[in-house]
A and B are shown apart, each in its own frame.
Chain A
Amino acid sequence: MSAWVFPVGCLPIVWGLILPFVPGRIRPWWALSAPLLVLFFCFNWEPGLTAKIEFEAFAIYPLHFDAWGRWFAIVFAGVLFAGMLYGAWKNKVSENSFVLIYAGSAINTVLAGDWISLLVFWEIMALSSAILIMLGNHPDSRNAGLRYLMIHLLGGFLLMSGIAAHIHQNQGMTLIQAIDADCWSDYFILAGLLINAGAPPLSVWIADSYPKASPNITVFLSAFTTKTAVLVLARVFAGEFALIPIGAYMIIYGIVYAMRANELRLLLVYSIVGQVGIMLMGIGVGTPEAMAGVALHALSHISYKALLLMSAATVIATTGTERMDQLGGLGKILPWSAALALCGSLTLSGMPGTAGFVSKSLLMEAAVSEQAWIVEFMLTVAGSLSLLYVGLRYPWFIFFKPAQATRPIRKAISSQQMTAMLLLAMVCLVLGLFPGIIEPWLPAATTLGHVYSLEHVADQLVNLLIGAAAFFMTLRWLKPHSGSWYDIDWLYRSACAWCWLHLNQSGVKLDYWVQHLKKQRNNLIKIEPQGIVSRNWPTGSMVLWVAILLLCYLFFSY
């Protein structure tokens, strides 16, 4: 088997590059085969396998197949399969292709054994996900994708600076190992990872960009980027205290903004921030039990969030809108979607019998045994409030509210889509009812048999009952309505606009230069005799440029 050791995430990347050349009818099946192959290798390889390449003075480990990497690679391949089953027949060819590249680079990132290969796949992931957002049909998709890319390039820059300094300090040692953050290079790495996790102050990129992609694509976006950051943080910064207040802020941020959201996907993506906050708090606690809770919560979160986003995509495809104030009574038209969305919502809330209950109970136990009262408090609050901001709010106002059903514009759910949603719901329920079956696969040693103690179940049921009572007692207030709240991006976006305006007024002709550059770009891509790439060039100028390039090379080689 050792002859077959290779960075397994390259399979979806290669599959994505080939996809546009595959005949149309085979394309969805081609896309589906990539995650199945990844799963085949991940289930057959034993932890401990590595692939090593010598590059200049560095040892590169593009594959380091440990228990953490295996766990996340299997989860990523699983959600890639479910997402493709849901959307491969409806997505654009370019979307399917970039999803495979995005997922493959995410899998390679979680399996990377050294900082250099991690950084390479990290950046491919950022670029492919930005393109996926730009391919969306929303009027703001292109700009949202550019804003997303800018934030991620900033994160990538911080990460690269930190990694370069870290490798230099460790005499060229590139292996990814636990870091006790105590110097600026470590803080740069931490900051780069936290930006991808959606930590403050830049949490807004998630809500700004994910709902602007196509509904089927938001399923993938919600799964990979933030959870890749969670895995690297778990590997490198387990037990880092700073993650606890950051996680607490993210939980409150997610709740407050989701409570206000009027669009289906906006509501769901705000809750991603809150749930990643829970994982960061678990990493901050850092005990084996907490780390097992983090791994399990990542799995349950990816499953129920993909399920909820698929139900949202079904609603959008059926009604043509995602404004909650214009929706209602859809349970009559989409009964299966309603039932599956309820299953996802209850898993999110941590209802006993679902995977969310098992992961939250593990995290709670770890917090109590470590006397981390902030974590214990925030987990309780997040569990109880989850019904108010999404757990009941989402299914109630879309599917179950007694109202005239929103008139469907077309029947939108196919058998493949139903199968994908059923698969994810099964993951939520089977892991919740029989948590013992995944114990051997967990990356941190712990037992799951005791989570169904009377104390845990009663505690959680009463918490949820309090949340449900609060929801139904104030139902009239909570009716979704249009409007939006300002976020921190208002500060830097208006500051940039102000600077641009005043620079233009003070004589720096920025608008003129932008127009000039656009003209040049149009000339460049014009396939006409006068276009830059197609017009005739004097041989003398070519020779001059060659000479300049050779001189530069000579200069840098010295």
Chain B
Amino acid sequence: MMAHGGVVEVMLHLRHWLWAILANLALLAGYAIFDLTIDQPDDTNQ
């Protein structure tokens, strides 16, 4: 029980770092799926 509580406490303290890692992974995965695999029209008007 104590060990379980300790892990939760450590996780709570490190929550910002965990969130940062997950957010980076999610953004890169989303970018890889939606941008790199889909042909986009070139309408940049340049």
Contact = CB atoms under 8 A, between A and B. Distances in A.
A467 B24 contact: yes
A466 interface: yes
A260 B28 contact: no
Nearest to A263: B44
A483 interface: yes
Interface stretch (A101-109, A338-346, A377-385): A377-385
B34 to A, nearest CB: 8
Interface in A139-162: 139-140
A138 B46 CA distance: 9
Interface residues of B, number: 23
A513 interface: no
A550 interface: no
Main secondary structure of the interface of A (DSSP, over half): helix
Contacts of A263: 44, 46
B16 A260 contact: no
Main secondary structure of the interface of B (DSSP, over half): helix
B29 to A, nearest CB: 10
Interface string B1-27: 000000000000000110111011101
A388 B27 contact: yes
A263 B45 CA distance: 11
Given A321-B46, A384-B20, A474 B41 contact: no
A388 B19 contact: no
Contact of B24 (A140, A466, A484): A466
Contacts of B31: 259-260, 477-478
A4 interface: no
B33 to A, nearest CB: 11
A322 B41 CA distance: 18
A68 to B, nearest CB: 30
Nearest to A261: B44
A59 B23 CA distance: 51
Interface in A240-262: 255-256, 259-260, 262
B40 to A, nearest CB: 3
A92 B24 CA distance: 43
A139 B46 CA distance: 9
Contacts of B40: 482-485
A470 B44 contact: no
12 contacts: A321-B46, A322-B46, A323-B44, A323-B46, A384-B24, A385-B23, A388-B27, A462-B16, A470-B24, A477-B36, A483-B43, A484-B41
